[in-house]
Structure 1
Amino acid sequence: MKVKSILRTISVLAAGVMAVSSFTACSGSSSGTSETTAAASSAAATGSEKGVLRVGMECAYAPFNWTQVSEEVSNGDTAVPIYGGGGYAYGYDVMVAKMLAEELGMDLEVHKVEWDSIGISMDSGEYDCIIAGMGRTSERMLSYSFTEPYYYRSNCVVVKKGSDIENITGLSDLAGKNVIATTQLGTGWVPLLDQIPDVTLGANYETTAEVFMALSNETANVAVIDIPTAQSALLTNTDLKLITLADGDTFVGDEEMTNVCIATRKDDTELRDKLQAAMDAVGLDRDKMNSMMEEAISVQPAAN
C-alpha cells in the first residue's frame, strides 16, 4: 500500500509539472507585437523593469549623431553608452531619443550600425526604431512606418575653396564644368546627382566624413548633402565651402530628403504611434528643432 501511495503521489506531481509546463509554453507562443517582446527581453538584459527604447543610428553622422570617448558633453548633458561598447553616442538624434524615452518612461539603448544595413538590422530585431537623420522618401515608405518629421532640413552642395566653381549660385553654373559629383551611399541624395549638368558620377561613400574627404583630396568636385551636416563638417574641413543654390536653379524633387522622420518596422504601428504621441507631448516644433540642432553643432567634438 505504501508503494502504491508513493507512486500515486509521484504521478500527481508529474501531471502538475506537465500542466504548468504546457501553460507556460502556450503563454510564450501567444501573439504580441515585436515591440513588446523586444522591450521585455532588453529590459531583462539590463535588469530594468522599465521598457527599453532600442534605437539604431550610425553614430558617425554629425551633427545628427556621432561617437565620442566619454559621456561628458560641454552643454552639461550626458552622452549615451553605445550598446555593446565602443564609446558614447550624442548629437541631435540622441537628444531627441533621450527626450522621447523620458516622455515614454523608458530606458534608452543606442545601437551603432552602418548605414547600408540600418533597415535590415531593424527588421531582424536588433532594435525597434531608427532615429538617424533618415529622410522619409516614398520608396522607404513601402518598407517602413514613419512618424511626422522630427527635423526639417535643407539641401546644399559643398565644393572646395579656390576651385573654379566656388562662386556658383545655381546648378546651371555647372554646365560645361564636367564636375565629378558624390554623396553618401543609400541616401535620397544619390538620385539628385544626375540633375547636375554635364556631370560625371563619382564614387559614393558609406559615411559623410568620406564624402568630405573626397572633396578635400579632389577625388570629387561637388558633394550633395544637407546644410546641418555641411555646417558641421566645415568646422574642421576649413578648405571646403557650403553653397546654397538659388530658388529655381536647384534640385527638383529633393523635398523628400527634407523630412527627417523616425522609422519603425512596417507593421509596428503601435510603437510609431507612441513615438508620435511623445513628440507631440514634448512640443517638438520647428523653433525647438532649430534650437536643438544649433546646440548639437556647437557641442560636437573636433574629431567629428
Structure 2
Amino acid sequence: MKKTVTALTLSAALALALTACGSGSGGGSTAPEESAATTGLEDGVFTVAMECNYAPFNWTQSDDSNGAVPISGGSDYAYGYDVMFAKEIAEAADCELEIVKMEWDALIPALQSGSVDAVIAGQCITAERAAQVDFSDPYYYASIVCLVKSDGEYAGAQGISDFEGAVATSQLGTVWYDTCLPQMPGVEILPAQESVPAMLVALDSGAVDLVVTDQPTALSACKAYPDMVMLDFSGTEGDFDVSEEETNFGISVQKGNTGLVEIINEVLGQYTPEDYTARMDEAIEVQPLNQE
C-alpha cells in the first residue's frame, strides 16, 4: 500500500509554512489573512491534540527522556509514535510544537472548532471521519487483531469464528468495537472501554476473554503484559471483514485546510511502509510500561 506523494515540492510546502509562521514583515504578495486560511499556523505554533494515553502511538511520561514534549497546561510530557511525527511536521513548518491532551471523543470536535491545528492520535481514515475532517496520506498501516491471555481458553483460536462463548470488549468510538466485534459469532460484547489502558486492564483482570485492537497496540500490550498473546488472522478466511480505510491511519486537520495537509504529506512522503514499521518498533521499545 504505497502512499500518494503530493505534487507540491518540499520547498514549496516549507515556503507556505514560513509564510504562515514567520513573525517578521513579509515581502511576498500573500496577505496575512490568506496565509491563515491556507495553514492556520499564523501564530507560529503547531498545536496537536492526542490522548497521551494510547501507547505505542502516544503516552504520558514524567520527564523529557527520548525526546518527549511537554503537555500543555501540566507538568507531564508526551511521547510515542505520534509525537515523533508531530515534531517533524512542526520543524518542517518552522513552528513551535504544542501538545494538547484530550479524550478520544473530543479530538474531532477540537479540530472543527479550530482550537487545535491537527489530531495525530492513531486515527483510522474512515469515511465517517473524512466527512468531518480532512486527512493526510496514511502514516501507518495496521491489521486488526485479537488479544487474549496466553493461558486462556481462546489462545489457540484460528479465526474470528473460534470465539463462541467468549466475553469481549474494545475501546469506545473505534472500528475495533463498532465494526469488528459484531462480526464475531456467539461473542458476548460488553460496553466499550473509555481508553486503551482500561481495555487492557479488563483483559488482564479476567473481566473479558479477549479484546480487539490494532497490531501496534497489541504488540505494545504484549511487551507490558507478558501473559497476553496477539492473534493475527490477516490473509486468512478467519480474518475480520474490514476495508483498507479502516486499517490505514492518518493525521487529521480542519476541513478545507489543504495547505497544512500538503505540508504534512511532504513530511510523510519521505517514508515507506517499512520505515513506519521501524519507527513504530522504536516507540514500542521505549514506552514507559516496558521500563522496569
Normalised to the residue count of structure 2, the TM-score between the two structures is 0.83
Q: Is the 8 A contact 1:92 1:293 kept in 2?
A: yes
The alignment status of 1:271 with 2:273, answered yes or no, reads no
Code of the residue aligned with 1:219 in structure 2: it is: A
> Structure 1: which 5+ residue stretches go unaligned?
1-28, 44-50
Provide the C-alpha distance between the structure 1 equivalents of 2:80 and 2:248, rounded to a whole number of angstroms. Answer: 18
Instruction: Give me the identity figure in percent.
Output: 38
Q: Does 1:160 align with 2:179?
A: no
The 3 A distance-change label for structure 1 pair 279 and 236 is closer
Q: Give the counterpart letter for 1:215 in structure 2.
A: L
Q: Per-residue deviation at 1:100?
A: 1.7
Equivalent of residue 131 in structure 2, options 137, 142, 146: 142
In the alignment, what sits opposite 2:48? 55
Q: State the partner residue of 2:119.
A: 130
Match of 1:220 in 2: 208
Matched, 1:244 2:232: yes
1:46 is matched with none
Which residue of 162, 176, 179 maps to 1:189? Answer: 176
The count of corresponding residues between Structure 1 and Structure 2 is: 259
**Contact 2:72/2:101 (<8 A) preserved:** yes
Find the aligned partners of 2:33 and 2:282 in 1 and give their Cα distance. Answer: 45
Structure showing greater Rg: 1
Tell whether 2:107 aligns with 1:107: no
Counterpart in 1 of 2:276? Answer: 289
SS at match of 1:67: strand
Match of residue 65, structure 2, among 62, 72, 86:
72
Deviation at 1:34, TM superposition (A): 5.3
1: CA distance, partners of 2:213 / 2:285:
19
1:33 CA drift (Å): 4.1
Q: CA deviation at 1:30?
A: 6.4
Q: Which amino acid aligns with 1:151?
A: Y
- What CA deviation, in whole Å up to 9, does each residue of 1:220-249 have, x standing for no partner? 111110111111112222222111125111
Higher relative contact order (CA 8 A, sep 6+): 2
For the 8 Å contact 1:183–1:189, the answer to whether it is kept is: yes
Find the counterpart in structure 2 of residue 94 from structure 1: 83
- 2:171 partner letter: Q
Distance apart, 1:125 and its partner CA: 2.1
Runs of 4+ in 1 over 6 A off after TM superposition: 29-32
2:89 and 2:263 in contact (8 A); partners too? no
Equivalent in the alignment of 1:201 = 189
**How far is the alpha carbon of 1:31 from its aligned partner?**
7.4
Q: Does the 8 Å CA contact 1:33/1:268 hold for their aligned counterparts?
A: no
RMSD: 2.1
Q: Gapped runs of 5+ residues in structure 2?
A: 1-31
Q: TM-score, normalised by structure 1?
A: 0.80
Give the deviation of 1:301 after TM superposition: 1.1
Alpha-carbon distance between aligned partners in 1 of 2:120 and 2:78, rounded to the nearest angstrom: 12
**8 Å CA contact retained: 1:104, 1:278:** no
Given candidates 254, 257, 280, the residue that maps to 2:246 is 257
Q: What's the CA shift for 1:180?
A: 1.5
Matched letter for residue 58 of structure 1: E
Q: Secondary structure at the match of 1:70?
A: coil
Q: Deviations over 1:52-95 (max 9, x none)?
A: 2111111100000001000012xxxx111111114111000001
User: CA distance change for structure 1 residues 101 and 31 in 2, over 3 Å: closer, same or farther?
Assistant: closer
Could you tell me how far apart the structure 2 residues matched to 1:163 and 1:85 are?
A: 40
Letter in 2 for 1:182: T
Deviations 1:171-194 (A, max 9, x none): 1222xx321121111111122111
Secondary structure at 1:250's aligned position in 2?
Answer: coil
* AA aligned opposite 1:201: I
Partner of 2:285: 298
Residue type at the aligned position of 1:71: D
**In structure 2, what is the equivalent of residue 26 of structure 1?**
none
**What one-letter code is carried by the residue in structure 2 that aligns with 1:235?**
K
